[in-house]
Amino acid sequence: MSRLAIGTRVRVRDLIHTGHRRTPVYVRGREGEVVRVVGPFLNPEQLAYGSKGLPAVTLYRIRFSQREVWGGTYAGAAADTLDIEIYEHWLEPVAAH
């Protein structure tokens, strides 16, 4: 079951997680918004080590402002965005500001 609805503000957890993981370091700790609930997938961070990848994890598409990802050093336009796929265990909801 997916826990996070479209439009939810989320933060990417900065987990200490060695080995195979599918959440790049550059988005960890950054805040974005759920733009799509893709659905359940076998957990690739488990599959990589020969397990069955169960329980399945919900995959989301999260949209970030590039200014949020890179701060003041982003040289593009203010409206530029980054969409990335992140599994639920890497996400936590953020209270509205």
Partner 1 sequence: MSESHHHHHPHVAEAPGLPDASLVLEQALRELLIEKGVFTADELRFAIEAMEARGEALGAKLVARAWTDPAFKALLLDRPGEAIATMGLNLGVNELCVVENTENLHNVVVCTLCSCYPRLILGIPPTWYKSRSYRARTVREPRAVLAEFGLVLPEVVEVRVHDSTADLRYLVLPMRPAGTEGWNEAALAGLVSRDSMIGVAEVRRPEAVGMS
- 32 bridge partner residues: 10
From residue 11 to residue 30, the character string flagging contacts with partner 1 as x (rule: CB under 8 A) and all else as - is: -----------xxx-x----
Q: How far apart are CA 96 and CA 22, in angstroms?
A: 27
φ, ψ of residue 48 to 5 degrees: the values are -60, -20
**What is the per-residue burial (b if ≥16 Cβ within 10 Å, else e) of 72-87?**
eeeeeeeeebbebebb
List 4, 59, 88, 91, residue binding partner 1 (CB under 8 A): 59
Is there binding between residue 81 and partner 1 (CB under 8 A)? Answer: yes
Is there binding between residue 86 and partner 1 (CB under 8 A)? Answer: yes
Given the rule CB under 8 A, which residues bind partner 1?
A: 22-24, 26, 38, 41, 44, 59, 61, 66, 69-70, 74-77, 79-87
